[in-house]
Structure 1
Amino acid sequence: MTNAEAMQPYQRIVNDIRNQIAAGRLQAGAQIPGIKALAEEYHVAAGTVQRALAELRTLGLIYSHQGRGSFVSEEAAGRTDSTINRIRHLEEQVEALTARLDRLEQGSE
């Protein structure tokens, strides 16, 4: 099982959008695709997308306007520090490994 498979579906969306911002594919002020489009792209429920967007807002990577959508924040676009990105990547790997270990332990009991 790969790290991507071990991640929760909302975490994959968060990770992908974060990576797009870090790589410069999503610039400050760029609109994030809507809930329906993201749900179709990732083959998940709308609630999963909403959870991912909430996490991205909490991280300060995006902001949302009721009725207009979600956009990349100025703060997020300015964050290109590779150390921060490496730390986040390591945190995601630890989360994925923890989830995998939990599943393995549940299967052996």
Structure 2
Amino acid sequence: MQVDSDDPRPPYVQVADGLRRAIQSGELAAGTKLPSGRELANQWGVALMTLQKAVDLLRSEGLVYSQQGRGVFVAATDDQPRQLNVRALQEGLDDLRRRLEAVEQRLDTADKRRK
């Protein structure tokens, strides 16, 4: 996967088109986490900002979504089960629950020290 310098399309469009084809062919299935931005930029031979612009384009098309601190994932399409998105949401909620419990424990500990 490399950008073609003879292609008249901007590099970010070439990257987005390549990733879109992989998503539509099922090579990148719904719920799949994309490699990191740096990894994809290296694979495609583009700058990180170019890769981010390509991902932003795919996000605007609803083909991928981001989860803060977790990465970018392939979204389910109409012909793919939405269960994968539900699973991703559940994992996000579980992570938030664990983080909230840790914060509550720290607050309880701090409160006990003050008494």
Q: What TM-score results when the alignment is normalised by the length of structure 1?
A: 0.64
Q: In the alignment, does 2:80 pair up with 1:68?
A: no
Deviation at 1:67, TM superposition (A): 1.4
Listed as ranges, the gaps of 5+ residues in structure 1 are 79-109
Match of 1:39 in 2: 41
Match of 2:21 in 1: 19
Match of 2:54 in 1: 52
Structure richer in helix, relative to its length: 1
- 1:36 is paired with a residue of what secondary structure? helix
Q: Structure 1 residues 44, 76: closer, same or farther in 2, change over 3 A?
A: farther
1:37-93 deviation line (CA, Å, top 9, x unaligned) = 011011111111110111000000000012111000012764xxxxxxxxxxxxxxx
Q: Structure 1 residues 8, 76: closer, same or farther in 2, change over 3 A?
A: farther
Report sequence identity in percent.
37
Letter in 1 for 2:65: Y
Listed as ranges, the gaps of 5+ residues in structure 2 are 81-115
Provide the rounded CA distance (Å) in 1 between the counterparts of 2:43 and 2:79: 23
Match of 2:83 in 1: none
Provide the rounded CA distance (Å) in 2 between the counterparts of 1:20 and 1:50: 17
Aligned Cα root-mean-square deviation (Å)? 2.1
Work out which of the two has the higher radius of gyration on C-alpha atoms and give 1 or 2.
2
Aligned pairs, number: 77
Q: Which is bigger in relative contact order (C-alpha 8 A, separation at least 6)?
A: 1
- 1:47 is paired with a residue of what secondary structure? helix
1:6-54 deviation line (CA, Å, top 9, x unaligned) = 1111011110111011111111100111110011011111111110111
Return the match for 1:30 from 29, 32, 37.
32
Provide the rounded CA distance (Å) in 1 between the counterparts of 2:78 and 2:55: 14
